[in-house]
Structure 1
Amino acid sequence: MPSKRPALAMPWRLLITPEGSAAYNMAVDEALFNACRRDLSPPTVRLYSWHPPAVSIGYSQDAALEVDPDQCRKYGIHIVRRQTGGRSILHDDELTYSVVTPENHSFAGSTGCEMYRQVSQILINALRSLAVCGVMAEERTSQENMNGACFSQAARYEITVQGRKLVGSAQRRAERHILQHGSELLGPGHKRLPMLIPAKEHHRRASMIQTLNNRTISLSEILGRVVHFDELAERVSETFFGSSALSFDSGYLSDDECRDVNTLIRTKYSRPEWTFSRKMNHVE
């Protein structure tokens, strides 16, 4: 049953969580989505980072074509499957955001595309405070290999600087609610992804390296200095708080959300059945 609460009047919650493992980060995003769908929590914006680095693969991707577990173990990199679509990405040296909200909130719009636009506008405003000029990409005009890296091209409303992709995003919609999460590149760590693909896919490696070098850009490259998570998180949170259209409160995970996180880690995101076969282990 859809919530009867007036979505436009709901204050939003802003979470800045400590760096977490791949399983933890994906479990928190799903727990926030679940709680919002059950009307147990407000619309939420979360900012977070990853430790250790991790490859996340899109919901529908074939893990066997995207990542070599032995190579990941060699470099101490985790692997996780997202609940959103899109392509693989190496989360290393970035700020990741997630947003959960009912569809009937004006921030989401009637199709979900409006949320892509509004989130990107807030991130662009935050970039301006660092003297970085970001722009929203237009609709894709080329049909490229969808088994490539997430950052190989920019989709509509994703953010580019100097014609190269800085922010990539993906959505999931269910039961009249939306989860959107995305990555803003702080440094060049994402460019290590080609060395993690399976040996049988080696023919893709050279083109992936070229694409990531030519079509992506990080804040550190733009500014000519190291940009840390805390610096960007402060700018982004200030921009969200300063948005005239939204009311925000700082918050934390509820007890119910924490329990859901622990369950999702145990039964889903830490398990190879989910990562490699998209199957959940229903254990108590």
Structure 2
Amino acid sequence: MNILWRLLDLGTVSGYTMTNLYEAVGRAVSAGDAPNTVILDHPEAPFVNIGYHQLMDKEINVGFARAKGFSLVRRTIGGGAILDGPWEQDYFAVVRRGDPECPATIPEFYGMFLRPPMYALRKLGLEPSVRPPNDILVGGRKISGNGAITIEKANVLAGDLLLESPTSLMSEIIRAPSEKFKDKLAKSMSEWVTSISVETGEAADRSEVKRLIVEGYGEELGITLEPGNLTPEENTTLRTLVEARSTEEWIFSKDNDLLMKMGGDARGAKVRGGVTVSEAVHKAGKLVRVVLVSEEDRIASVSISGDFFTQPYTGAVEELERNLAGAKLTEEDLARRVKEAFERTGMMVFGASQEDFVKAILKARFESG
């Protein structure tokens, strides 16, 4: 059976457009106002792109990024901080849930829609593999990062193939605790990130990469992509989203929430008698960062951030933070509060378990001194 989808080949776009376009299309696909869609585009200029659950000031050297003229972007998909730029080819698959082409679970969704970019890499003479849940590797090094999000009744896969790999610039953007660590970060990035040009020994041909991705949908999934355009309604939604999400209020919204909770106090600082602000990072499948305000043996407030993914992407972590307020700093009470929040919101987390959140909070408590 020949399955027809829409192809939006949009060329160069701004960082704000790239990180909101899939939502505008996702809403239209969800409502049945647009067909399932594949989007191909790439950034017109470099921009900093942090995950929805991350803190901009904790993850990014904001001063350096601003000095370089890079836009600061906070996307609605989880995952880690990255520097996007013209050196990549981005792709998005927007699929209505319930359609035969949409697998029931996010891991299966990844498995299916990573096949077209992997097809493209194989056709370029490379041997890609998947590092679960969502990285594509060549020779053990990352050449493609991917994320997924649910938008109303649609699922979205967002990913890119690196044509080049500006690892030195990336290491300057990511906030490091020291110059020594920054040097290690730069070296490690060059060791675990690669690109099509590095692997083939030739300059990557963007038009050929795009052609092979489109071909991969046909060969791997039996989906024919027909060139199309954004609808007027999608354009209107996109403009509204970009206007709202290019503001400092949105970009630093989680940072500002943290400042309110912490009262502007530094890590590990005693606020007043019996009250402490502390911080810890726990390595689960992804990183979980906790900034904790504790009073005696209870949580006064807590901020949870990291490069994990959640479903739903909005509201669930915030509900978890609210439910933890007042909890005793014991493993038993924390586990109960975390479980309650997960059950109430229906939250699923990719890259961390309920137990990981408990461990991160306890680690913050004991690292407070």
Q: What TM-score comes out, normalization by structure 1 length?
A: 0.82
In 2: Cα distance, 1:46 partner to 1:132 partner: 24
Q: Which one is further off, 236-245 or 73-82?
A: 236-245
Q: How far off is 1:130 after superposition?
A: 1.1
Structure 1 segments of 4+ aligned residues over 4 angstroms from their partners? 198-204
Q: Tell whether 2:264 aligns with 1:271.
A: no
Listed one character per residue, the Cα deviations across residues 144-168 of structure 1 (whole Å, up to 9, x for unaligned) are xxxxxxxxxxx33521111111111
After superposition, the Cα gap between the structure-2 partners of 1:229 and 1:191, relative to the gap in structure 1 and judged at 3 Å, is farther
Q: Tell whether 2:113 aligns with 1:119.
A: yes
Matched residue type, 2:127: C
Matched residue type, 2:62: P
Q: Which one is further off, 250-259 or 63-72?
A: 63-72
Q: Which residue of 2 aligns with 1:53?
A: 46
In 1: Cα distance, 2:226 partner to 2:120 partner: 18
Q: Which residue of 2 aligns with 1:103?
A: 97
Q: How far off is 1:59 after superposition?
A: 0.4
Q: Which residue of 1 aligns with 2:199?
A: 222
Q: Tell whether 2:112 aligns with 1:83.
A: no
Q: Which residue of 2 aligns with 1:128?
A: 122
In 1: Cα distance, 2:103 partner to 2:38 partner: 17
In 2: Cα distance, 1:113 partner to 1:72 partner: 34
Count of aligned positions: 254
Q: How far off is 1:80 after superposition?
A: 0.5
Equivalence map 1:232-251=2 (5 Å): 232-243=209-220, 245-251=222-228
DSSP 3-state at the match of 2:78? coil
Task: Indicate conservation of the 8 Å contact 1:120/1:158, yes or no.
Answer: no
Larger strand proportion of the pair: 2
Q: Which residue of 1 aligns with 2:145?
A: 168
Task: Indicate conservation of the 8 Å contact 1:107/1:114, yes or no.
Answer: no
Q: Which residue of 2 aligns with 1:140?
A: none
After superposition, the Cα gap between the structure-2 partners of 1:53 and 1:206, relative to the gap in structure 1 and judged at 3 Å, is same
Listed one character per residue, the Cα deviations across residues 28-59 of structure 1 (whole Å, up to 9, x for unaligned) are 12111111122211111111100211111000
In 1: Cα distance, 2:210 partner to 2:100 partner: 24
In 1: Cα distance, 2:179 partner to 2:248 partner: 23
Percent identical: 26
In 2: Cα distance, 1:173 partner to 1:181 partner: 11
Task: Indicate conservation of the 8 Å contact 1:65/1:201, yes or no.
Answer: no
Q: Which one is further off, 108-117 or 58-67?
A: 108-117
In 2: Cα distance, 1:84 partner to 1:173 partner: 9
Task: Indicate conservation of the 8 Å contact 1:186/1:218, yes or no.
Answer: yes
Q: Which residue of 1 aligns with 2:353?
A: none
Q: Tell whether 2:67 aligns with 1:74.
A: yes
Q: How far off is 1:100 after superposition?
A: 1.1
Q: What TM-score comes out, normalization by structure 2 length?
A: 0.64
In 2: Cα distance, 1:182 partner to 1:275 partner: 21
Listed one character per residue, the Cα deviations across residues 175-221 of structure 1 (whole Å, up to 9, x for unaligned) are 33211101211101254122123476656523422321111110010
In 1: Cα distance, 2:97 partner to 2:123 partner: 30
After superposition, the Cα gap between the structure-2 partners of 1:14 and 1:128, relative to the gap in structure 1 and judged at 3 Å, is same
In 1: Cα distance, 2:140 partner to 2:177 partner: 32
* 5+ residue gaps, structure 2: 256-369
In 2: Cα distance, 1:165 partner to 1:199 partner: 21
Which structure has the greater CA radius of gyration? 2
Task: Indicate conservation of the 8 Å contact 1:90/1:190, yes or no.
Answer: no
* 5+ residue gaps, structure 1: 1-7, 138-154, 280-284
In 2: Cα distance, 1:198 partner to 1:158 partner: 22
